Amino acid sequence: MTDPSTRLLELLSLLQSGRSRPAAELAERLGVSPRTLRRDLDRLRDLGYPVSSTRGPGGHYQLVAGRAMPPLLLTDEEAVATVVGLRAAALSQVGDAAEGALSKLERVVPTRLRPRIQALTAATETSSRATHAVDLRTVQLLATAAHTHQDVRFDYTSRDGQRTERRVDPYRQVLFARRWYLLGWDRDRADWRTYRIDRIAALTAPGTTFAPRELPADDPVSFVQDSARFLRTARRGVVRFAAPVEVVSDRLIAEAGSLEAIDGTSCRYLTGAESWEWLAATLAAVGVPYTIEAPAELIAASRELAGRIAEAAGGFSRGEGERGLGGTP
């Protein structure tokens, strides 16, 4: 007979498959009598593992959901996948929960698995940590409200700093461009809207429900992405590159916007931007000739950037740089 502790771990591993297992099968796998099996099952229950039993020939046993989270027994592959997944969750800035779980798991990961985890970490790149942290409670409440079709109330701060009260039917949450967004139906505006979750405050769910509407697009993620790219209140930047779309797409680092071919030697880029100054620098970094078609703010920001660069390089003055640039960088 195997050591009782080792046998308990093996029994727990068998039960964590999620399906109901016959008592005879468990006893055979463990090499014990039915009486010893029942004792082992009672020990698991004493340790906090909710094991249920069903009547029938020989009885069946299954691990079910309980009131508390008992320790999990993970395979090597599951342990590695969990660590990698938690690191990605930590980068998404969902509160401190992912960081805490990751720290606990990394302390108990077997030594033999550490090289695999380190290799995955070293060979994997992420664009960057989420630029704005969100509250885990907010994400959870919105997810629950969306799943149960409950409308929510919250204060929302717009891009220009204006704070308004919103009544929204929530549908989906999307992580895009290092930010969390909510897709919902705005009751007061009678239209679909996307909201930056880090700008949501004083969130409540009064308990009233709504009849689900047909989503505004077959792919809610694409709808949220388009809304984030082309904000309703922002003017679009329109730029024509004198290079094939394949060349520009390989060099353009901006995460938002659409790039479409005009012909074999040129393409057009449309985008909204939180900062015209940032977009001006991004366009210049592509390294091919381009013409700004709109708006005037982007042209002005590009002239200002060109002047600063020329001045920093010891060339002509900023005013001379602006006069020489005209409307086309």
Per-residue pLDDT of the chain (329 residues; tens, 9 = 90+): 567 777 887 888 788 776 788 888 998 888 899 889 989 888 888 877 888 888 766 688 888 766 666 666 777 787 787 777 777 666 655 556 667 777 777 766 778 887 877 776 665 555 445 556 677 788 888 988 999 999 999 999 987 688 999 999 999 888 776 678 899 999 999 999 989 888 999 999 998 999 999 988 777 777 776 665 555 445 678 999 999 999 998 888 765 678 889 999 999 998 877 678 888 998 999 999 999 999 999 999 999 999 999 888 876 554 544 444 444 44
Burial class of 35 by CB neighbour count within 10 A (0 to 12, 13 to 18, 19+): exposed
Question: Is the link from the previous residue into 289 a cis peptide, with omega within 30 of 0?
Answer: no
* Alpha carbons 52 and 66: distance in angstroms, whole number: 10
Q: What is the pLDDT of residues 29-78, one digit of tens each?
A: 888 998 899 898 888 888 778 888 887 666 888 887 666 666 667 777 87
List the CATH code of the domain at 136-228. 2.30.30
List the CATH code of the domain at 4-63. 1.10.10.10
Q: How distant is the alpha carbon of residue 26 from its chain centre? A: 40
- Domain segments of the chain: what residues? 4-63, 76-122, 136-228, 237-325
Residue 309 has phi, psi (to 5 degrees) of -65, -45
Q: What is the pLDDT of residue 328?
A: 43
Q: What is the pLDDT of residue 128?
A: 47
Amino acid 235 reads R
Six-digit token string for 62: 């299954």
User: What ranges in 34-127 are assigned the alpha helix state H?
Assistant: 34-46, 76-91, 97-108, 114-122
* Alpha carbons 102 and 100: distance in angstroms, whole number: 5
Q: What is the pLDDT of residue 164?
A: 94
Which of these, 109, 101, 68, lies nearest to 85 by C-alpha position?
A: 101
Q: What is the pLDDT of residue 325?
A: 43
Q: What is the pLDDT of residue 149?
A: 93
Q: What is the pLDDT of residues 234-280, one digit of tens each?
A: 567 899 999 999 999 888 876 567 888 999 999 999 887 767 888 89
* Alpha carbons 184 and 172: distance in angstroms, whole number: 7
Q: What is the pLDDT of residue 151?
A: 95
Contact by Cβ (8 Å): 322, 306: yes
- Provide the CATH topology of domain 237-325: Alpha-Beta Plaits (3.30.70)
